[in-house]
Amino acid sequence: MHKSGLPHDGHSAGEIDPSDEVTCQQLVELVTDYVEGALQPRTMNHVEEHLVVCDFCVTYVEQMRATIATLKGLEKHGSPEPPASALAALQARRAAGA
């Protein structure tokens, strides 16, 4: 795996070679797994070590968190009246059971 490349092991997107540190370019791909708590412990350690020393990545993660926070409740949902056909089918059941 190249130091500057992306993790290419498809089934363990949250893992990196434990002998490497995390680069910024890798971190921006790991950030979702990080925020979701889905990283392997070793990778999590590498990410947190990186965030101690890299203000730019701290900024990036903060921006990601702010994006997620702004999404919360962004769309409000109501629900319409249920379909008349379904209500009629229910009524037929009640009539049959009465």
Binding stretches for other proteins (CB under 8 A): 2-8, 10-11, 13, 23-26, 28-29, 31-33, 36, 38, 54, 56-57, 59-60, 62-64, 66-75, 77, 79-80, 82-83, 85-87, 89-98
Q: How far is the CB of 51 from other proteins (least distance, A)?
A: 13
CB 40 within 8 A of CB 15: yes
| CA–CA dist 64, 24 (Å, integer) | 14
Nearer to other proteins, 41 or 72 (CB): 72
Burial of 92 (0-12, 13-18, 19+ CB in 10 A): exposed
